[in-house]
Structure 1
Amino acid sequence: MLAEIWDRILTTQPLPSTGAVLATAAVALALVLVPGLWPLTRHAVTVAHEGGHAIAAVLTGRRLTGIRLHSDTSGLTVSRGRPRGPGMVLTLLAGYTAPALIGLGAAAMLSRGLAVALLWAVLVLLALLLLQIRNLFGLWVVLVCGVGVFAVTWWAEPRLQSAVAYALTFFLLLAAPRTVLELAVSRRRGRARGSDADQLAGLTRVPGALWVLVFAVVTLGSLALGVAWLLPEVLDRVGT
């Protein structure tokens, strides 16, 4: 079985047609913009957001103690270490930028025909995240995501695997800027006290609004570059 899994991971797939890629982009856009869907699909963004905090905490030498995901799509990642300094700054910075950067990495893999490898990489990350979940709702969210990805990687046909991988990638790239916009609106209305931007402002004395701008630059830049990798033919036509 391990040999079969490894063969599936290493097998490259032909790049889908431009029309097929645009169709997956349209699906992802609906998942981000349709009011009835966004409260549900936003949980996937929260998983990536808190995963970003967790990865940054571990890479900077902090001790990760647990992750909680809540039904209102908020989350909390707790780590121990110095309360100030570069490690804490990078850990806070990684949250809002993680979905976009994950999406950008996924776009790079898809541009090389590694759709199945991408799905297995997502599955591994979800498994590692599951070990750190500390509440029942978070456990349920990660398990649902993991079971869904596993079902696609194991039983779906190659074209469906590719479609899911592209839709997931576009979703992360498109959803990341929306969460930053929501943060900016909430801060303007005074409803985002204690947000990542506010905590970064307290650590660095750089205004929270500028940190929101940093989040926006990273997420929008990742979106632009990711689309360029996923839809090079479309951009070439626009350019001419």
Structure 2
Amino acid sequence: MNDVWDSITSTQPAPSLRVLIGTGVVALLLIAWRPIWRYTRQVVTIAHEGAHGLVAALAGRKLAGIRLHSDTSGVTVSRGKPTGAGMIAVLLAGYPGPALFGLAAAFVLGQGYAVALLWGLLLALVVLLLQIRNLFGLWSVVVFGAVVFAVSWWGSADVQSAFAYLLTWFLLLAAPRAVIELQHSRRGGGGRSSDADQLRRLTGVPALVWVAFFGLITLVCLGLGVLWSGVLPSQ
């Protein structure tokens, strides 16, 4: 345990440019290849619903539970005033959530704390697990957490660093695709209960504007994440 704590509180050397680019390419394949995206998208859903839950708690709403479904959809239920700034903030958090988590991870990695990032993620998953209210959601979080724990506990420093970058790239790159899928769903007649459409009903601002806002946030996070990752020079 002393060795684990030392690795958490110590910085790790930055990986090579080859590793940075390689993990980015792998993350892109996990997103672009449709047969596997059906499964890896669940990580985006976990981050999406986790963002809803985090903002609900920060806004003073009572979190009643989170459900994750096999079709990669999810729902976060919180109790409180159904209108107003708190509810709007909760709805705003979902689609930008994975990108913002990815950007925060890129910042932590830029400081050299790859191992601390993995253990912090594991702690967040444990907290999230306490809010899961269905069997599939429980299974999804446990499997993802088991992978993160295995890498954190048994992986070498190089493996831990590469895995941390892979997760970061995945969140940054997957977030814009989730927004595109949202708009495709809306154009096909679905998504009437989507975050964007609920925001339209609460604010009067067209849902398409909210979709564009989600997309802008995810692209800004991606750009900053690339800069902070070290792939491009910061100056």
What is the TM-score when the length of structure 1 is the normalising length?
A: 0.96
Equivalent residue number for residue 24 of structure 1: 23
Query: Which residue matches 2:103?
Result: 104
> What is the CA distance between 1:234 and its match in structure 2?
6.1
For 1:196, the equivalent position in structure 2 comes to 195
2:177 is matched with 178
Structure 2 residue aligned with 1:73: 72
Specify the alignment match of 2:34 in structure 1.
35
Q: How does 1:221-240 map to 2 (within 5 A)?
A: 221-233=220-232
Q: 1:233 to 1:192 in 2, by over 3 A?
A: closer
Offset from partner CA, 1:133-162 (integer Å, 9 cap, x none): 000000000000111101111110000000
TM-superposition CA deviations, 1:112-150 (whole Å, max 9, x none): 111001101110110000000000000000000111101
d(CA) in 2 for partners of 1:164, 1:41: 15
Which string of whole-angstrom CA distances, capped at 9 and with x for unpartnered residues, describes residues 20-76 of structure 1? Answer: 100000000001001111000000000000000000000000000100000000001
Q: Tell me how far 1:186 sits from its aligned partner.
A: 1.1
Task: Measure the CA separation in 1 of the matches of 2:133 and 2:34.
Answer: 29
Partner Cα distance (1:159, 1:8) in 2: 12
In 1: Cα distance, 2:163 partner to 2:233 partner: 20
What is the CA distance between 1:192 and its match in structure 2? 1.0
Call closer, same or farther: CA 1:158–1:36 in 2, change over 3 Å: same
> 2:21, 2:231 within 8 Å by CA — same for their partners in 1?
no
SS across alignment from 1:15:
coil
Alignment of 1:1-240 (within 5 A): 1=1, 3-233=2-232
Q: Quote the Cα distance in structure 2 between the aligned partners of 1:19 and 1:226.
A: 17
Q: How many residues align?
A: 235
Which SS does the other structure have where 1:73 is aligned? coil
Which piece of structure 1 moves more, 18-27 or 184-193? 184-193
Out of 224-233 and 101-110, give the one that drifted further: 224-233
Q: Please give the alpha-carbon distance, in whole angstroms, between the structure 1 residues aligned to 2:183 and 2:198.
A: 14
| Distance in 1 separating the partners of 2:189 and 2:169 | 31
Deviation at 1:232, TM superposition (A): 4.3
TM-score, length of structure 2 as denominator length: 0.98
State the alpha-carbon separation in 2 of the partners of residues 192 and 167 from structure 1.
30
- Kept in 1: contact 2:56–2:63 (CA 8 A): yes
- SS of 2:15's partner is coil
- Look up the equivalent residue of 1:29 and give its one-letter code: L
How well do the aligned residues superpose, as a CA RMSD in angstroms?
Answer: 1.1
For structure 2, list consecutive stretches of 5 or more residues without a partner in the other structure: none
Partner Cα distance (1:119, 1:157) in 2? 13
For residues 167-225 of structure 1, what are the alpha-carbon distances to aligned partners after superposition, in whole Å with 9 as ceiling and x for unaligned? Answer: 00000000000000000111112111110000001011111000001100100000011
Distance 1:181 1:235 in 2: 29
1:143 counterpart SS class: helix
Q: Distance in 2 between matches of 1:37 and 1:123?
A: 23
Q: Name the SS for the 2:94 alignment partner.
A: helix
